[in-house]
Amino acid sequence: DQQVKQNSPSLSVQEGRISILNCDYTNSMFDYFLWYKKYPAEGPTFLISISSIKDKNEDGRFTVFLNKSAKHLSLHIVPSQPGDSAVYFCAAPTALNEKLTFGTGTRLTIIP
């Protein structure tokens, strides 16, 4: 059962435009969400997180939005830069045993 879903396996965005990556979850017990960025042959790098008591968290070019009623979160990158080309994973710790559950990832390609 995929509790964290990223339904878009890939996304291409023009440099300078906004990139929007989406993530849906099914477990209403999730109360903390994280986004990771991963380059090929490297480990994922933590990007930004959001607690369920907020609906938005911003860090520089990265903003994460949380819609609890829709069980949906999104990562906005603006403006998009070539170095943002990577695979992005959303993740959430399960309330019961605290392990992180990851989505399947979205490959973002920024077109110069």
Partner 1 sequence: KAGVTQTPRYLIKTRGQQVTLSCSPISGHRSVSWYQQTPGQGLQFLFEYFSETQRNKGNFPGRFSGRQFSNSRSEMNVSTLELGDSALYLCASSTSGGDTQYFGPGTRLTVL
Q: Which residues bind partner 1 (CB under 8 A)?
A: 6, 32, 34, 36, 41-46, 49, 89, 91, 93-94, 97-105
CB of 104 to partner 1, least distance (A): 4
Minimal distance, residue 95 CB to partner 1, in Å? 8
Choose between 72 and 78: whose C-beta lies nearer to partner 1.
72
Identify the three-state secondary structure at position 50.
Answer: strand
Q: How far is the CB of 94 from partner 1 (least distance, A)?
A: 8
79 versus 107: smaller Cβ distance to partner 1:
107
> Residue 6 to residues 25, 32, 66: CA-CA distances in angstroms?
9, 17, 14
Distance in Å from the first CA to the final CA of the chain: 38
Q: Which residue number, 38 or 79, has a Cβ lying nearer to partner 1?
A: 38
